[in-house]
Chains A and B, each alone.
Chain A
Amino acid sequence: MSTTNKRILEPVTVEHGGGLNIAETLKMAADSLLANRVRSFLTMLGVIIGVASVVSLMTLGNGASNAITNQVAAIGTNSLTIFAAPPNRGPGGSASSPPLTMADLTAITAMKLPVVGPVPQFSTAAAIDAPAADKTASVIGTTAEYQQVQSIVMESGTFLSADHVRSSASVIVLGAQLKKDLFGSGTAVGETVRISGKLLRVIGVMAAKGGGGFGSIDDQAYVPIGLAQLQLFSARTSSGQLRVNTITVSVIDAEDVDFVQERIEMTLRDQRKLNQDGSQDDFSVINQAAFLATLTQITGLLTTFLAAIAGISLLVGGIGIMNIMLVSVTERTREIGLRRAVGAQSRDILLQFMIEATVLSLFGGIIGVIVGSILPIVLTAIGTLDAPITADSVVISLTVAIATGLFFGIWPARRAAQLNPIEALRFE
């Protein structure tokens, strides 16, 4: 019994209109979420996993996509590659196509197109014997212009010269990895290797191009085309022609690519006695730029696909938020009734629950971005993949996370706001 205090509370004079401001509501949401730490964290977990997978998959997808397109772009987007296979079948697509021959090459050369080349390639897998080691590798017979068409940089020595090619000299140029396999860290230029019993002098080693994988230029060896066709291997077809696998030209001006491609197709149809309408084509001309565009499209699609899968987990996270918010509304029915009784408007309750859902999803999103960045950053740091975190993946996933919170928060919040205060107060 200590209520002898005579202080009197004067009437409230300074007050704003009904309704809460955002700062008060944010503080209320923070209090409420902090009061239920474990539940808040578990609710966020769905969003964290969703956002983390969106960020990491989008980033890794972009990284892989860039790696692939860079590798293709390195070949040169102005180049046209011709091989024996009907169009739309890809290299080696048909065994029935008669091979490209030196006669086809001569026909293209005779056109005097605005190109570097044409450069023939005749490749065979063969055992290369060095004094200390031996290795089976792809040995490619080609011409001097191959260096320019493929933008090859030499680490030591020189590439094949026009003289070497004309005289079918017994010389060989080694890819960086192949040189390492055959000669280790020692010098290779000036040494000899043996292919099909013939001694070849190493005149150059190419700089590593990297990229690895199937058919890497670093694992290959280059010899004059005549040497490969006639002396090391046999390129004779049954009709006595000399076979080549591919013919490459590098168009000097990018604007001429389509024109050159058309002219080559026409010439080859004449040369190979095919209809000019293209219906009988048994060769293909691959436009590197078009190939790159297709490849970019495919990898872009792949990235989108990965992001969509990750998006599903974000959706599940959103449903998790909705679920917990609905439980929370039921659990706090009496609190809602009390707040309504002391003067909270229906929109104050709506705002309170919406902000709780949004705060949960925003913080879940931020933690998700951090967690999702770990894998790409580690992979980039150790050099496996160049996958920088892009602003758009962060912005997109945060936006989606907040939108998820708002979208899945709105139903529980509306339920809370529409509770009848009398019934809410009586709720047991």
Chain B
Amino acid sequence: MNMITIEQMTKTYRMGSIEVHALRGVNVSIETGEFIAIMGPSGSGKSTLMNMIGCLDTPTTGRYALDGIEVASLNDNELSAVRARKLGFVFQQYMLLPRQTALANVEMPLVYRGIAGVERRRRAEIALEIVGMGNRMDHRPNELSGGQQQRVAIARALAGSPSVILADEPTGALDSQTSEEIMFTLRQLNREQNLTIIIVTHEADVANYADRIVTIRDGVITDDRANQRGNA
């Protein structure tokens, strides 16, 4: 079953009098439970595609279906609701609220889904245990290492049982040892929880953990292949 279907997607920005064609007809399908990397140099349209998949923006033309929902025609509030229910984000800079504990950070997105306090806490605790942060729930971000902070961020993405986890350069701020641990955690989540995970990166090393690598250049998909090492 297709988790994500993108057909003939274009995105045109207007910068003053100049039109920028960030996406020029992207076609890609992603199935439930895939672990996929989207690669491309800067300016390739990689970030634009990520924003589209993340329901942070809508395409100029073309079709985007996420878990059965036609996203392209949704308004701002409906997009917010889809993000809350279907997506979990992991950012390069972790994006944790600095004055809140790990637990409160993981609970935060659930607030916007109207999930009650007790259930919120239960889910956040489980999510933190899954990423191996069960013993640091009451720590604030400045008491955690970069790798630990990114684990909390992954738990935050996980807590609402999303259809897709979208990770934007998840290891961009980490050393290689920690990067490996984070990628291993993501792959484990994919294997054990059958979570669909999309990594957006410009680093081949990082992309190499995925089972499938899609390359975008100048707003079109130029390469889409299975990755043997990732399957190993």
B129 touches which of A7, A21, A346, A425 (Cβ 8 Å): A7
B56 touches A422 (CB 8 A): yes
A7 to B161, CA, bound (A): 12
Q: Confirm or deny: A20 has a beta carbon within 8 angstroms of a beta carbon on chain B.
A: yes
A3 touches B56 (CB 8 A): no
Chain A residues within an 8 Å CB radius of B80: 18, 340, 343-346
Shortest Cβ distance from B122 into A: residue:
A9
B84 touches A342 (CB 8 A): yes
Q: What 6 new A-B contacts, CB under 8 Å, besides A17-B114, A343-B112?
A: A3-B131, A12-B110, A12-B161, A24-B111, A341-B83, A348-B112
Q: Confirm or deny: B119 has a beta carbon within 8 angstroms of a beta carbon on chain A.
A: yes
Chain A 322-356, CB-CB to B under 8 Å as 1, else 0, gives: 00000000000011011111111111100000000
A343 touches which of B84, B100, B132 (Cβ 8 Å): B84
Identify which of residues 17-42 in chain A touch chain B, using a CB-to-CB cut-off of 8 Å. Answer: 17-21, 24, 28, 31, 35
Shortest Cβ distance from A334 into B: residue:
B95
Q: Which residues of B contact A (CB under 8 A)?
A: 51, 54, 56-57, 76-77, 80-81, 83-85, 89, 91, 95, 97, 99-100, 104, 108-116, 119, 123, 126-127, 129-132, 134, 156, 158-161, 181, 184-185, 188-189, 192-193
Overall SS of chain A's interface? loop
Shortest Cβ distance from A7 into B: residue:
B126
B113 touches A16 (CB 8 A): yes
Shortest Cβ distance from B151 into A: residue:
A3
Q: Confirm or deny: A384 has a beta carbon within 8 angstroms of a beta carbon on chain B.
A: no
Chain A residues within an 8 Å CB radius of B84: 18, 342-344
Shortest Cβ distance from A25 into B: residue:
B111
B130 touches A9 (CB 8 A): yes
Sorting the interface of chain A by its residue count into under 10, 10 to 19, 20 to 34 or 35 or more gives 35 or more
A12 touches B160 (CB 8 A): yes
Chain B residues within an 8 Å CB radius of A16: 113-114
Identify which of residues 58-117 in chain A touch chain B, using a CB-to-CB cut-off of 8 Å. Answer: none
A20 touches which of B111, B127, B160 (Cβ 8 Å): B111
Identify which of residues 399-428 in chain A touch chain B, using a CB-to-CB cut-off of 8 Å. Answer: 421-422, 425
Chain B residues within an 8 Å CB radius of A346: 76-77, 80
A335 touches B97 (CB 8 A): yes
Chain A residues within an 8 Å CB radius of B115: 12, 14-15
Q: Confirm or deny: A1 has a beta carbon within 8 angstroms of a beta carbon on chain B.
A: yes
B158 touches which of A9, A18, A339 (Cβ 8 Å): A9
- Please give the distance in Å from A16's CB to the nearest CB on chain B: 3
Given contacts A343-B83, A345-B77, contact A15 B127 (CB under 8 A): no
Q: Confirm or deny: A186 has a beta carbon within 8 angstroms of a beta carbon on chain B.
A: no
A50 to B56, CA, bound (A): 43
Chain A residues within an 8 Å CB radius of B184: 1, 3
